[in-house]
Amino acid sequence: MRMLVTGGAGFIGSNFVRFWLERHPDDHLVVLDLLTYAGSRASLEDVENRIVFVEGDIGDRELTERLLRDEELDTIVNFAAESHNSLAVVDPGRFFRTNVLGTQTLLEAARTVGVQRFHHISTCEVYGDLPLDTDEVFTEESPYRPRTPYNASKASADHAVRAYAETYGLPVTITNCSNNYGSYQFPEKVIPLFVTNALDDQPLPLYASTQNRREWLHALDHCSAIERVLQAGAEGETYNVGSGVEKSIEEIANEVLELTGKPASLKSIVPDRPGHDRRYLLDSSKLRRELGWEPAIDFEHGLEETVAWYAEHRDWWEPLKGRAPVEETAWR
């Protein structure tokens, strides 16, 4: 493949670039990333000489069309997004600009040039949330009920992708994933926030709804799912990507404290952010049944490896800690 990876200097995107190059060393990858506060060129340092890196915006149609033509790219994998729910509460406009208008502009470039596949990375959060006291799960047929500006911007992007498939025949696929964790995740998200704070003996801010649960998927398992969809997924289809492993925020904090050898006294309760979702859980049986995908990384082992990675890579995350634009303890 000759692939454009947007948002490739972010968390999942950079993991995907390394994953793809390891498994498909002869493929040509172009990474397009605006390098906002959460994007880091250092996340690609070990593969920099094997990719073409371009700093730019998916909302710049002239740039994206030129890249697609000049580099003769046939596939787009769109990770580019503003993704932090807390920031979306205080600055929703940037989420709609990037996630909706940016995605639509990229779709238009893909349509104009004529790519063979446009794969869009979405989230479980477009479906809304689930009660804590139920066995209900989200399927690909669940209605979209976004509850926050971030959720709504991602839902809108999904609709744009489907509209380009229906109206223009653009060959698209979508994956909706559960919460990801792993190395190179910006330390505003809950697991790296807890890990890096614990390593520095700083409080771990738990939202007041400490039993709210998330489904946790290792980023490399997510990458393998995207690979299966690109290789064998049916055009126009959506696939949920989940591990089936649920953990409450308090369980995550407890496991991080145990792995770092830090005391429970570091746990600190802070007010819930507005629109705080209770629970997400995806039914990923379609992906497993039709494409033969299975997650390979056990959560307990994956979390242990993730904690160890942050402990060994202070040089990567310490410069980023001060760039987080939202104070998680300040909700009122």
Which H, E and C letters describe 108-160, residue by residue?
HHHHHHCCCEEEEEEEHHHHCCCCCCCCCCECCCCCCCCCCHHHHHHHHHHHH
> What pLDDT, on a 0 to 100 scale, did the predictor assign at position 265?
97
Instruction: Identify the architecture of domain 186-214+246-275+300-321 in CATH.
Output: Alpha-Beta Complex (3.90)
Residue-wise pLDDT for 137-163, tens only, equals: 999 999 999 999 999 999 999 999 999
**Residue 207 in tokens:** 């939202």
C-alpha span between 68 and 61 (Å, rounded): 11
Q: Is the pLDDT of residue 224 over 60?
A: yes
pLDDT for position 324: 78
Q: Between 29 and 211, whose confidence is greater?
A: 29
C-alpha to C-alpha distances, 102 to 11, 97, 105, 135, 166, nearest whole angstrom: 19, 6, 5, 36, 19
223: exposed, middle or buried (Cβ count in 10 Å: 0-12, 13-18, 19+):
buried
- CA-based Rg of the chain, rounded to a whole angstrom? 19
- Per-residue pLDDT at 86: 85
Question: Is 0.85 topped by the overall pTM?
Answer: yes
Structure tokens at 12: 């999942």
Give the C-alpha separation, 317 to 311, whole Å.
Answer: 10
pLDDT at 330: 62
Q: Does domain 2-180+216-241 have CATH number 3.40.50.720?
A: yes
**pLDDT for the residue 290:** 98
Percentage above 90 pLDDT, the chain: 85
Q: What is the pLDDT of residues 78-130, one digit of tens each?
A: 999 998 888 888 899 999 999 999 999 999 999 999 999 999 999 999 999 88
Would you tell me how many other CB atoms lie within 10 Å of the CB of residue 5?
25
Find the mean pLDDT for residues 277-298: 94
CA pair distance 64, 78, nearest whole angstrom: 12
Give the separation between CA 140 and CA 240, rounded to whole angstroms: 6
Domain ranges of the chain: 2-180+216-241, 186-214+246-275+300-321
Q: How confident is the model at residue 170 (pLDDT cuts 50, 70, 90)?
A: very high
